[in-house]
Amino acid sequence: MSPAPLSPWSAARLAEAAAEIVEAGELPHIVQAGHPVLRTQAIPFDGQLDAALLAALVEVMRRTMHAAPGVGLAAPQIGLPLRLAVLEDAWAADEGIARTRERLPLPFFAVLNPAYVALGADDASFYEGCLSVRGYTAVVRRPARVEARWTAPDGSPRRAEFSGWQARIVQHETDHLAGTLYLDRAELRSLSSNEEYAARWAEPLPKAAARDLGF
């Protein structure tokens, strides 16, 4: 897979667009697959937004993520090609599914210029969706544990290890900033509408789907 091109936006254009999103008075639209912003490498954050604008943008992204609802949102998903994402998983999940998927609550945080590396050779395959691929879900194999590094909105460098579903969220949102959608990593024969998934494959592990769909 060829690397996505770097977005050509200038610092001034980024700041102007961010201000428009913050000042709009309503939550931004989440762009869908096919929009070019989802297929470009987002621009590294380097002070293009001042502290007040950055904080306001993070808050708008948090509210947009909650309203969707979702567990993560990257700036390109609201049309802004900036290496910024917000993450939070506070949704109650079925106990058996949560245990199998190692899904623990993930407190809210925002990341600038994130990167991750796999820790160990273990991986896990589960159905995964995306707010920018509305109505569909597919199985994605991802490293089970990762180390992530990023800059917090206050400018401090951060590092943490994540496992289970938290690691999946971190990888999914970081991938967005490189112009990568989960479909690029998916078992495409597993692709299901949300309705078919709910009716047939909503189990802790995708074993039945793998058998019947042939992946």
Contact in structure between 115 and 149 (CB atoms under 8 Å): yes
Q: What is the distance between the alpha carbons of residues 211 and 214, in angstroms, rounded to a whole number?
A: 5
Q: What is the DSSP letter of 82?
A: B
The DSSP element (H or E) to which 58 belongs, if any, is helix 51-67
Q: Which residues pair with 106 in a beta bridge?
A: 89
**First-to-final CA distance of the chain:** 21
Task: From 169, 7, 189, select the one nearest 83 (Cα to Cα).
Answer: 7
Rg, the chain, Cα only: 17
Q: What is the DSSP letter of 66?
A: H
Report, as residue numbers or ranges, the catalytic residues.
173
Query: Measured between alpha carbons, how far is residue 127 from residues 11, 61, 141, 192 in Å?
Result: 37, 24, 9, 9
Residue with tokens 């206050």: 154
